[in-house]
Amino acid sequence: MAAALILFFILIAAVLGWLAIQNGSYHISRSRIIKTSPEVAFEAVSDFKTWPEWTPWLAHERDCKIDYSDTTKTEGSWYSWNGKIIGAGKMTHDKFTAPNQIESRIEFLRPMRSKSDVYWKFNPVEGGTEVTWGMRGKMPFFFRWMAAKMDQWVGKDYEIGLNNLAMTLNDNSNAFDLSFDGLIESPAQYYISTAFSGTFAELPNAMQKAYPELMAAVEDNELDVAGEPFTLYNKVNIKKDFLSCDIAVPVSNKTNIDGFTNAILPARTYSRTTLKGDYTNLELAWHSAFSNLRMNKLRFHWKHPILERYITNPRTSEGMELVTYLDIPLK
């Protein structure tokens, strides 16, 4: 017992010592060129009443309680949020340098207390305005280990927010939209598929080759397609740029076609996110899908594959006409 206590205190001391030498500071910054003037972009960001239209986090909880100061676009203006899913906090404008820069501060109250400095820069460039959204801060002592991950966790949200801001300012270049559809029950489904393993860059060409072959096999064997084509992602490693997946077409009956995997996708419960927009935005869409999962305290069943279901045909649709369902299996 005494030895166990000594070991416990040694471990605690080691953890505290490790935390003590961590800097805990972080700096996140993302930029995007928006086809508008600095004055118009500055006006939109300076007015907190516009934020619900484009801030990425409120999309996860549309009925979140929002409060504003009496004036919403002057130095000292603020807005606050209080939600069951996204937590609670407050943003305050500290200094305007119109139309080039905004300095603000953000205070998080839930799920964790912390404060950070937020800034915006609006730089005129050829074709519009380079809009930069940044945040600097320092994590509380016991959360210093999170500082190194902040850019990875929050940076993609900033990219989504800048896209949304561009759309509110009528810049629809590579526009996309995300919606969170909640839980869906997917019935069992027969399918035929072909396997792929490789890099993310190699996947589009593999799909362009696989789907015509799959559809030809369906036609040659006089099968009926029973829904939209999909991809089953079995392994995904972003750091190593590697994935393995099954590129699939659902069919109405059990079959056995040489050269293809013939299988059944069991009935399961999924958390669904819908992407409207080009496939180049799938990485951001998956980031948001898993963020939504965590916010709703749902558990990913990692032993089952995640799915992309392609609702519209990329040969006849483009831009926001492209619709993809992102389905995450749940425990």
pLDDT of residue 21: 44
pLDDT block averages, 10 residues each, the chain of length 331: 54 46 72 97 97 94 94 95 94 96 94 89 96 83 54 86 96 93 95 94 92 90 90 91 94 87 94 96 95 94 95 89 97 89
For residue 45, which of 72, 12, 76, 66 has the smallest C-alpha distance? 72
Same domain, 201 and 156: no
pLDDT of residue 315: 85
Domain contains 11: no
pLDDT of residue 259: 86
pTM, two decimal places: 0.87
Same domain, 98 and 193: no
Domain contains 4: no
**Structure-block tokens of residue 215:** 């559809």
Same domain, 222 and 321: yes
Number of domains comprising the chain: 2
Residue 290 corresponds to which amino acid?
A: F
Domain contains 161: yes
Start-to-end CA distance of the chain, whole Å, equals 37
pLDDT of residue 255: 83
Query: Residue 11: helix, strand or coil by DSSP?
Result: helix
Q: Looking at 152, 173, 194, which one is the last position of a domain? A: 173
Same domain, 207 and 94: no
Q: Looking at 140, 173, 206, which one is the last position of a domain? A: 173
Same domain, 185 and 169: no
Same domain, 146 and 278: no
* Sequential DSSP letters for 103-171: EEEEEEEESS-EEEEEEEEEEEETTEEEEEEEEEEE--GGGGGGGGGHHHHHHHHHHHHHHHHHHHTT-
Domain contains 91: yes
Q: Looking at 173, 193, 214, which one is the last position of a domain? A: 173
For residue 95, which of 85, 108, 86, 105 has the smallest C-alpha distance? 105
DSSP designation for 201: T
pLDDT of residue 140: 57
**Structure-block tokens of residue 1:** 């017992």
pLDDT of residue 71: 93
pLDDT of residue 24: 64
Domain contains 95: yes
For residue 288, which of 237, 232, 328 has the smallest C-alpha distance? 328
Domain coverage including residue 322: 181-329
Domain contains 10: no
CB 159, CB 169: distance < 8 Å? no
pLDDT of residue 309: 97
Q: How far apart are CA 246 and CA 140, in angstroms?
A: 43
